[in-house]
Amino acid sequence: MNNTIKLAVAAAAMGFASQAALAQITFYEGDGWRGRAYSANGQVRDLARVGYNDRASSVVVDRGRWEVCEDANFHGRCVVLRKGSYDSLRGMGLNNRVSSVRPIKARDRYENEAPPPVAQPTYEWRRRPSERIVQVPVANVRAVVGTPERRCWVERQQVSEPSRPNAGGVIAGALIGGILGHQVGGGSGRDIATAGGAIAGAAVGNNVANRNNTYTRDVQRCENVSNPQPEYWDVSYDYRGVRHHVQMSTPPGNSIAVNAKTGEPRM
């Protein structure tokens, strides 16, 4: 192997080593980045050697892209994780099943890449490895309810329009009534009966013509409905003379875990 090839191979190796040094992944024993944590900056062929085999339930990838496998030496089913926070490995079928992990090149493409992680508001509240945590009493809790929601629906409603005289119906009714009245009348009485029949027939014809003025149609109804469930809990606590605030998706207990140095909340 000539010097040029040796230099190229060495440069490639150094580049990958540099990339691996920049990568970091942290596993947590519980969902939502809770429990004992373990961080890796390079490949680990067997997590049993560091006492973390089949223990990971959630992951945070700080840098790079990582392949995690359910068996040692990168065997079995593997999934590629990109930068971000994964609050649970259950959806990937890897909960408490990760046995090996290694960084991979950014430009390489794999068929077993996991979907992009959903942004989590509690990402920065995760507990770091070897971080000293203290419990601080909660000073105040305020449940914040969201703005009312506008809900709409469609229902069937009977609608009646004002009656309007129908000339065609009136004339037809008058003719029919006049014919009937003429048949039952006699002499001058027949003329009177004819007139009466025409009047009655006109009224009947008008009612028949206006019978279809009542119908049903779809009507939209809306109302503002308040949400009885709090949208979040605004929690405040004091640490080293400083008032801290944090928004939580669930109500806290009597105390909250915080970083012993900065007072930042921790999950």
pTM score of the predicted model: 0.45
Residue that terminates a domain, selected from 95, 130, 165? 130
The per-residue pLDDT for 23 is 63
Domain-embedded: residue 201: yes
The per-residue pLDDT for 110 is 67
Residues 107 and 215 both lie in one domain: no
- Which CATH number fits the domain that encloses residue 113? 2.60.20.10
Q: How far apart are CA 176 and CA 121, in angstroms?
A: 81
CB count in 10 Å sphere of residue 65 = 20
The per-residue pLDDT for 108 is 67
**Which residue in 144, 112, 151 sits closest to 230, CA to CA?**
144
Residues 155 and 57 both lie in one domain: no
Residues 12 and 119 both lie in one domain: yes
The per-residue pLDDT for 32 is 80
DSSP-derived secondary structure letter, 52: -
Query: How many whole angstroms from its chain centre is CA 255?
Result: 30
Compute and round to an integer the Cα radius of gyration of the chain.
40
Domain-embedded: residue 89: yes
The per-residue pLDDT for 251 is 85
The per-residue pLDDT for 19 is 43
Residues 141 and 255 both lie in one domain: yes
Domain-embedded: residue 216: yes
Domain count, the chain: 3
Q: How far apart are CA 61 and CA 27, in angstroms?
A: 9
Domain-embedded: residue 116: yes
Residues 102 and 195 both lie in one domain: no
Q: How far apart are CA 90 and CA 38, in angstroms?
A: 18
Residues 124 and 27 both lie in one domain: yes
Residues 25 and 76 both lie in one domain: yes
Rounded to the nearest 5°, which phi and psi values hold at 17?
Answer: -65, -40
Range of the domain at 12: 3-130
Per-residue pLDDT of the chain (267 residues), as tens digits, is 444 444 343 444 444 344 444 569 999 998 888 788 899 999 999 999 999 999 999 998 988 899 999 999 999 999 999 888 888 898 889 999 999 999 988 776 666 777 766 545 455 666 776 788 899 999 999 888 777 777 888 888 887 776 665 555 545 444 444 444 444 444 554 444 444 454 544 555 555 444 557 778 888 888 887 767 777 888 999 999 999 888 877 888 899 899 898 888 887
Residues 110 and 200 both lie in one domain: no
Residues 7 and 114 both lie in one domain: yes
Question: Could you tell me if 205 and 167 are in contact, meaning their C-beta atoms sit under 8 angstroms apart?
Answer: no
Residues 171 and 253 both lie in one domain: no
Residues 185 and 204 both lie in one domain: yes
DSSP string computed for 159-226: EEPPP---HHHHHHHHHHHHHHHHHH--THHHHHHHHHHHHHHHHHHHHHHTGGGEEEEEEEEEEEE-
Residue that terminates a domain, selected from 69, 99, 130? 130
Domain-embedded: residue 267: no
Domain-embedded: residue 265: no
Domain-embedded: residue 264: no
Per-residue pLDDT tens over the stretch 104-125: 887 766 667 777 665 454 556 6
Residues 188 and 213 both lie in one domain: yes
CA distances from 246 to 123, 142, 232, 241 (A): 13, 11, 10, 16
Question: Could you tell me if 131 and 266 are in contact, meaning their C-beta atoms sit under 8 angstroms apart?
Answer: yes
